[in-house]
Amino acid sequence: MSQQNNRHAGEKLIGTNKQARRLYEFLEVLEAGVVLMGSELKSLREGRVSFMDGYVRFTKDEAWLTGVHIAPYANAGMDPHDPVRERKLLLHAREIAHLQAMAAQKGLTVIPVRLYFKNGRVKLEIALGKGKNVHDRRDDLKARDMARDTARQLADIRK
């Protein structure tokens, strides 16, 4: 538990992809930088981001964040940014090659998990995930219910 708290020290959360853990089983997690416009950064400081259909796409040995909606900044002036434009991810070439090879396998995809500020820079946590089927989701629900029931029973015994 303390490792997880340490891992997030000095970070300010902008937004999380709440559906990611429910729909995918994470195999690997990486941190990437994101190339942004000024108005996008201002909008992110207000926490106006949605991961609804977000994923990472690879072209010409580059990683691109696709489908993440960053709302236009209200005071952007005459030329606001496109809310759903593709944004380049800053990763090492070996990381891109590894993710690209893994994503080429059937059933694996790279998805954005959370967006946060770290040392004044915007970072994106991405995960290599395998899509869960309906049975896996049901198993997760059963395990969570059993853990909750066990905790209740232990609390009753302690009284």
Q: Indicate whether 155 belongs to any domain.
A: no
When divided into structural domains, the chain yields a total of 1
Q: Which pLDDT score is estimated for 112?
A: 96
Q: Indicate whether 137 belongs to any domain.
A: no
Q: Indicate whether 25 belongs to any domain.
A: yes
Q: Which pLDDT score is estimated for 7?
A: 61
Q: Indicate whether 142 belongs to any domain.
A: no
Nearest to 29 by CA among 137, 118, 102: 102
Q: Indicate whether 109 belongs to any domain.
A: yes
Q: Indicate whether 118 belongs to any domain.
A: yes
Q: Indicate whether 143 belongs to any domain.
A: no
Residue 111: both structure tokens together? 């998805």
Q: Indicate whether 150 belongs to any domain.
A: no
Nearest-angstrom CA–CA distance, 28 and 125: 10
Residue 46: both structure tokens together? 């207000």
Q: What is the pTM of this model?
A: 0.76
Domain of 32 in residue numbering reads as: 2-132
Q: Which pLDDT score is estimated for 1?
A: 41
Tell me the CA end-to-end span of the chain in Å, nearest whole number. 26
Q: Which pLDDT score is estimated for 16?
A: 93
* Tens digit of pLDDT at every position of the chain (159 positions): 444 555 667 789 999 999 888 888 899 999 999 999 888 898 899 988 999 889 999 998 999 999 999 988 888 777 778 888 999 999 999 999 999 999 988 879 999 999 999 998 999 999 999 988 877 778 888 888 999 999 999 888 887
Could you tell me the CATH number of the domain that includes residue 67?
2.40.280.10
Amino acid at 72: P
